[in-house]
Amino acid sequence: MSRIATPRRYLMCRPTYFTVEYTINPWMHPTVPTDNALAVRQWTTLRDAYRSLGHRVEEIDPMPGLPDMVFAANGATVIDGIAYGAQFRHPQRAAEAPAYLDRLGALGFETRAAKATNEGEGDLLLTEKYLLAGTGFRTEHAAHAEAQEVFGRPVVTLQLVDPRFYHLDTALAVLGDTIAFLPEAFSPGSRAVLRQLFPDAIEAHVADAEWLGLNAVSDGKHVVLPVQATGLAEQVRAHGFEPVTVDVSELLKSGGGPKCCTLELREK
């Protein structure tokens, strides 16, 4: 099977102020020290990996007091030139939403502020035919309906059940015309829906998901994923993709991986 890469445009935020100072997911332990310089180096390697694959990377200025702003995927959802804003579940991240919408407006996207609680591409993942929408921990069901109206794309609601995989993008990765996902992270009904919609999906193993291996970014051919997720790298290779591994171990201390750092900007 030969896979075809298409050039992408991403938005990223340098982790200048990254640290773990509050707990809003089971990965975050404020008593465990973080190494900010290392986080910046790891992030820079990820950004440069996208550039060497031929993708464009825009940046947004990091803001002091917003240690999770590095997780750009949560800042909005951008499809067909429209940026549907985030509305964060936790007050610690609330100020990120307007900052991302301002930046997206400056980049020329049409911005729509959200009424319903949603954490951007953390829970809203676009496939060829559907907008897959997670709920259970962060994004509320009402945002799925709101996103469907904003984008005019059929939304498929998926129920997340494991608090370690609190965002859809920690439990499922979009890879070209298929997906990889961790079945156990979904309710039985949602698992059945995924198997029906994507009969050739890669079913990942928990050992890889625990390194946030599913927090991966694909351009249709390459799959950028955490270096520790060795089993998943072999699975994607067996499906005709080319794994590109990165080490973002510092960001994992906040419950984030490569995809969390990456917001895809889709033009009209």
Catalytic residue among 55, 144, 222, 260: 260
How far is 116 from 141, CA to CA, in rounded Å? Answer: 8
Beta-bridge partners for 111: 83
Among 3, 47, 103, 167, binds ligand ARG (CB under 6 A): 167
Q: Check binding of 127 to ligand ARG (CB under 6 A).
A: no
CB-CB contact of 209 with 165 (8 Å): yes
Q: Cβ atoms within 10 A of the Cβ of 157, count?
A: 17
Question: Segment near ligand ARG (CB under 6 A), from 30-38, 97-105, 155-163, 164-172?
Answer: 164-172
* C-beta closer to ligand ARG: residue 25 or 190: 25
How far is 249 from 135, CA to CA, in rounded Å? Answer: 26
* C-beta closer to ligand ARG: residue 242 or 266: 266
Would residue 55 show up in a list of annotated catalytic residues for this protein?
Answer: no
In the structure encoding, which two tokens stand for residue 96, read together? 């990120």
* C-beta closer to ligand ARG: residue 93 or 222: 93
Q: Check binding of 254 to ligand ARG (CB under 6 A).
A: yes
Catalytic residue among 55, 144, 167, 222: 167
How far is 251 from 34, CA to CA, in rounded Å? Answer: 9
Question: Segment near ligand ARG (CB under 6 A), from 32-40, 110-118, 126-134, 167-175?
Answer: 167-175
Environment class of 266 (CB within 10 Å of its CB; exposed 0-12, middle 13-18, buried 19+): middle
Would residue 167 show up in a list of annotated catalytic residues for this protein?
Answer: yes
Question: Segment near ligand ARG (CB under 6 A), from 147-155, 175-183, 238-246, 250-258?
Answer: 250-258
Q: Which residues contact 37 (CB under 8 A, 6 or more apart)?
A: none
Catalytic residues: 167, 260
